[in-house]
Amino acid sequence: MPEVVSNGAPRTFLDQVVAATPSKCHLEMCIQCGTCGGSCPSGPDMDHTPRTLFAMIRAGMPDQVLRSNTPWYCVSCYYCMVRCPQDVHITDVMYTLKRMSVKLKKYDEAIAANFSKTFIFWVENFGRSFELGLMSQHMLRHNPFGVFRIADMGVGMVTKGRISFTPKRIKGIDGLRAILAKAKEIEAEDDARILGGAE
Amino acid sequence: MRYSVFPGCSLEKGAIGYPYWQSIEAILPHLGIELVEVDDWNCCGATEYIALNRMAAYALVARTLALAAKTDGLREMVAPCSACYLNLSKADTYLTQDSVLAEKVNRALAAGGLHYHPGSVKTRHLLDVIVNDVGYKAIAQKVTKPLTGLRIAPYYGCLIGRPAFYGQIDDPEYPVTLDKLLRVLGAEVVDYPVKAHCCGGHMTQISEATAFDLIRRLIKSAADTQADLIVTVCPMCQMNLDGFQNAMNRYFKTDYRIPVLYFTQMIGLAFGESARALGIGAEIVDARPALSRIGVEVPPVEEARPARRARRPKEALPMPVMPEEEEEVEL
């Protein structure tokens, strides 16, 4: 259990990360064995391996941790998680670090965060993902010339009927939006408590 | 056998994984499976929502689960996409384990007039349902056109075996269910050491170097074993391996051409369904040379040409047109 001070706020950075992760992530159980980094398919592109990052969390280095590109290069393959001898929910911790770095505006990896934002835009407004809108919006913003490099794929997808030009909206979009708005309100209350001590 | 089904955004008509859905619909009668689509389901959030919003991501999934619980009293829901399967099973597991989270998510759901009792709907991957509920024996009996002579690299990807929130349906690092299934269909299954490695997920949009490296490993390994094709169980994997194969080739100056099909398409071929009914022909890397080895004819896809713009009258001078300003959306 995370240590808490009298006002209910987690005391250390480690406690904050644990408290901001749904269910039990067992991060405090990490024995620094390095199995996670050794299993990671995108490890070579990361500033820090997951093991290093967890040591930094424990050492109370929120600024360096939240500026690391590591969480943004996590591909969510869960290799580290199934191999971790301590059952640390590493993938979940990576998601927590992404959320914290965006909320505290520490992230430098804008591409990944913006991709998530664009994706969410379609979900929040239509209830479903819309591939063409997502990819074109994202590429225009970050990689306008990349369009030419995958042009053949795009043409193939269109001629073979694998791309739709119109997004589909679910019937219950109003209900969904009300649900998401309420959820965000609850999350903001929680964050005020969890992250309250930070800065 | 009746289940509810969550097709997921990728399997909708006009989405990248639509051929997967076509092949599923074609083989269901043979397998004796009936699927009831969950009414008005929404996106599972993929790997994106949870990266920005914790509670909203769980509420998003919980809405679909709540709707699934109302679907004909069915307790088991099939998800053909591995990423959807992961998100749905993960959310349900965490909601069951964490009563505080469940209470908060239900407070959010109440705003939309819904409620979800954790644990009331179990999500299962389609491969799991086919091999464990229908069974290899029953499938073997239906095979009329065995895939004899076809060398297949079975590709599972990550999320079908990892981290297995509902308990292991296969080994997380070296799964074998798909191997067995393809052998039952008569194919020759190659030893594919990277069968449960990552396809790169959304990294094609974020860091090409990372994504192409992962895609190359998978394609090269299949080529090294002289596989005719790769068979997959997930629309994301199919998209990355097939759709981005040419871009990966250009990046590494290689020339791999390994077609990537869905396991349901292979089942359909072995059951004697036509390639067209199974959505074969919509892949970017041509599967025809590989399939011709087992005598499967793939008719050319009728190309849906994008509608031409009406021509401007020749007499009029062309007017300069400004591209419409993209509205900046506050997110």
What is the fold, at CATH topology level, of the domain defined by B2-125?
Glutathione S-transferase Yfyf (Class Pi); Chain A, domain 2 (1.20.1050)
Tokens of B168: 């292991």
Rounded to two decimals, the pTM is 0.90
Domain shared by A18 and A92, yes or no: yes
Q: What percent of chain B has pLDDT over 70?
A: 91
Task: Please indicate, yes or no, whether residues A101 and A35 belong to a single structural domain of this protein.
Answer: yes
Nearest chain B residue to A20, by CA: B54
Q: Are residues A95 and A138 in the same domain?
A: no
Closest CA–CA distance from residue A90 to any residue of chain B (Å): 11
Report whether pLDDT(B324) > 70: no
Q: pLDDT at residue B63 above 60? A: yes
Of B98, B112, B243, the CB nearest to A178: B112
Contact A187 B244 (CB under 8 A): no
Which amino acid type is present at position B159?
L
Quick one: A48 and A69 in the same domain?
Answer: yes
Residue B73 confidence (pLDDT): 92
Residues of B in contact with A186 (CB under 8 A): 55, 104, 107-108
Question: Over the stretch B271-296, which tens digit does the pLDDT of each residue have?
Answer: 999 999 999 999 999 999 999 988 88
- Select from A153, A183, A186 the Cβ nearest to the Cβ of B246: A153
Verify whether the Cβ–Cβ distance A178 to B159 is below 8 Å: no
User: Which of A78, A112, A187 is opposite residue B55, by nearest beta carbon?
Assistant: A187
Range of the domain at A143: 110-184
Proportion of chain A above pLDDT 70, given as a percent = 93
Question: Phi, psi (5° rounding) for residue B291?
Answer: -70, -25
Task: Spell out which residues of chain B touch residue A95, defining contact as CB-CB under 8 Å.
Answer: 50-51, 54
Which of A1, A35, A123, A142 has the most B C-beta neighbours within 10 Å, making it the best mutation to test the interface with B?
A: A123
Rounded Cα distance, B121 and B140, in Å: 30
pLDDT tens, B188-240?
Answer: 999 999 999 999 999 999 999 999 999 999 999 999 999 999 999 999 999 99
CATH of the domain at A68: 1.10.1060.10
Q: What is the ipTM of this complex?
A: 0.91
- DSSP three-state, residue B253: coil
Contact B59 A78 (CB under 8 A): no
pLDDT value at position A199? Answer: 44
Please report, as a single letter, which amino acid is at residue A112.
A
* B52 with A149: Cβ contact below 8 A: no
The answer to whether the Cβ–Cβ distance between B53 and A120 falls below 8 Å is yes
Looking at the partner chain, which of A20, A115, A165 has a beta carbon nearest the beta carbon of B202? A115
Confirm whether A137 is domain-assigned: yes
For residue range B162-179, what is the model confidence (pLDDT) as tens digits? 999 998 889 999 999 999
| Residue A198 is assigned to a structural domain of this protein | no
The sign of the dihedral angle between the CA atoms of B311, B313, B314, B320 is: negative
Same domain, A144 and A94: no
Interchain proximity B206–A41, CB inside 8 Å: no
A-chain residues near B246 (CB < 8 A)? 152-153
Q: Same domain, yes or no, for A98 and A139?
A: no
Give the pLDDT of residue B158.
Answer: 95
Give the residue among B16, B38, B37, B9 at the shortest CA–CA distance from B279. B16
Going by pLDDT thresholds of 50, 70 and 90, the confidence category of residue B326 is very low
A92 lies in a domain? yes
Considering its fold, how many domains does chain A have in total? 2
- Same domain assignment for residues A117 and A175: yes
Q: Give the sign of the dihedral formed by CA B241, CA B247, CA B251, CA B252.
A: positive
CATH 3.40.50.620 fits B135-292, yes or no: no
Closest-CA residue of chain A to B210: A42
Q: What is the pLDDT of residue A161?
A: 78
- A5: pLDDT strictly greater than 80: no
| DSSP string for residues in chain A | ---B-TTS-B-SHHHHHHHTSSS---GGG-----HHHHH-TTGGG-SS-HHHHHHHHHTT-HHHHHH-SHHHH-----HHHHH-TT---HHHHHHHHHHHHHHTT----HHHHHHHHHHHHHHHHHSS--HHHHHHHHHHHH-TTHHHHTHHHHHHHHHTT---SS----TTHHHHHHHHHHHHHHHHHHHHHHTTT--
C-beta atoms of B56 and A183 within 8 A: yes
The reply to whether A172 falls in a domain is yes
Same domain, A143 and A131: yes
Of the candidates B125, B123, B124, B107, which has an alpha carbon nearest to the alpha carbon of residue B115? B107
Q: Kindly list the distances between the CA atom of residue A12 and the CA atoms of A9, A94, A115, A187, B52, in Å, as whole numbers in the listed order.
A: 9, 18, 31, 20, 22
A142-151: pLDDT as tens digits = 777 777 777 7
Could you write out the three-class secondary structure of A48-105? CCHHHHHHHHHCCCHHHHHHCCHHHHCCCCCHHHHHCCCCCCHHHHHHHHHHHHHHCC
